[in-house]
Amino acid sequence: MKKFLQRQMHFLGLGITLLVLLVSCQAAPQVESSPTAATPATTPVAQATPTPAQLPPLPYDYAALEPHIDAETMKLHHDRHHAAYVNNLNEALAKYPNLQNRDVVTLLQDLDSVPEDIRTTVRNNGGGHINHTMFWQIMSPQGGGEPTGAIAEEINKTFGSFNQFREQFNEAGGGRFGSGWVWLVRNQNGQLEITTTPNQDSPIMDGSYPIMGNDVWEHAYYLNYQNRRADYLDNWWNVVNWNEINQRSALSSSASLSQQSLNQGT
Ligand SMILES: [Fe+2]
């Protein structure tokens, strides 16, 4: 009897040990085989824009940029207009499997390689997608004020002062007839330059790097400013995200406008 009990106790002990082992294994944190690439510590400088394209989330609430840009405008602008560019682009590219997984930037840099029947659609909607992807990032509820960092120095050197730069930028934006964008770009000579583009054309189509840009389509301001584009252009400076712009500027100068730099980020 004693032997029987000893044997039972032995098996019971083994059972408990096994049970403890099993539970501890299951409770141990899962070690995932995470990618070796480090997660970017900062906001992506320029979003990777592979196709099929995806609508990036707005990095703040719709109302976050009020009173300078109203919540309803932000909602329509992001959820409807930008979403439509993404959908239209994907719909056009769906007809051509060989264009799938190409980056939007490379498509826009080489529009001649895009089949003629979808070329204008890709130009307008691919441009709309990358322009707006940048636009959300270069604004911030904590934005505004004088530029900081290296871009401040370069703006002073190129344009004389921030005020002169802002004046020229607003003048260019106000003078863009119809719909389009006003930009601060780094041109092919590596210099800062204020330019404008019609519709959704991007400066990358001419080999310039878009460091910052303001959307002067009426859909960007009409609900709040009606026909007063000049007021919108003035107030927009209150939400400009100089941190992000500094990152884009640094990347544009260090990467010599390479396609890789435009796509670096996520
Ligand atoms: Fe827009």
pLDDT value for 256? 46
CA distance 116 to 112: 8
- Distance from the CA of 30 to the center of ligand 1, in angstroms? 44
- Distance from the CA of 80 to the center of ligand 1, in angstroms? 10
Q: What is the pLDDT of residues 231-261, one digit of tens each?
A: 999 999 999 999 999 999 998 876 544 444 4
- Distance from the CA of 234 to the center of ligand 1, in angstroms? 17
- Distance from the CA of 252 to the center of ligand 1, in angstroms? 23
- Distance from the CA of 128 to the center of ligand 1, in angstroms? 7
Pick the CATH number of 70-263 from 3.90.1170.50, 1.10.10.60, 3.55.40.20, 3.40.50.2300: 3.55.40.20
pLDDT at 190 over 70: yes
**Confidence tier at 51 by pLDDT (50, 70, 90):** confident
pLDDT value for 22? 36
- Distance from the CA of 72 to the center of ligand 1, in angstroms? 13
Mean pLDDT, the chain, rounded, equals 83
Span 1-14, mean pLDDT? 46
CA distance 180 to 135: 13
Residues with Cβ–ion distance below 5 A, ligand 1: 215, 217, 220
Lowest-pLDDT range, 25-34, 86-95, 104-113, 195-204?
A: 25-34
pLDDT at 264 over 60: no
- Distance from the CA of 220 to the center of ligand 1, in angstroms? 5
8 Å CB contact between 147 and 248: no
Q: Who has greater pLDDT, 101 or 2?
A: 101
- Distance from the CA of 114 to the center of ligand 1, in angstroms? 24
- Distance from the CA of 221 to the center of ligand 1, in angstroms? 9
- Distance from the CA of 257 to the center of ligand 1, in angstroms? 24
pLDDT value for 100? 82
**Confidence tier at 93 by pLDDT (50, 70, 90):** very high
pLDDT value for 50? 74
- Distance from the CA of 189 to the center of ligand 1, in angstroms? 28
pLDDT at 4 over 90: no
- Distance from the CA of 71 to the center of ligand 1, in angstroms? 14
Q: What is the pLDDT of residues 19-49, one digit of tens each?
A: 333 333 333 333 333 333 333 333 333 445 7
- Distance from the CA of 85 to the center of ligand 1, in angstroms? 10
What single-letter amino acid sits at 141?
P
- Distance from the CA of 55 to the center of ligand 1, in angstroms? 13
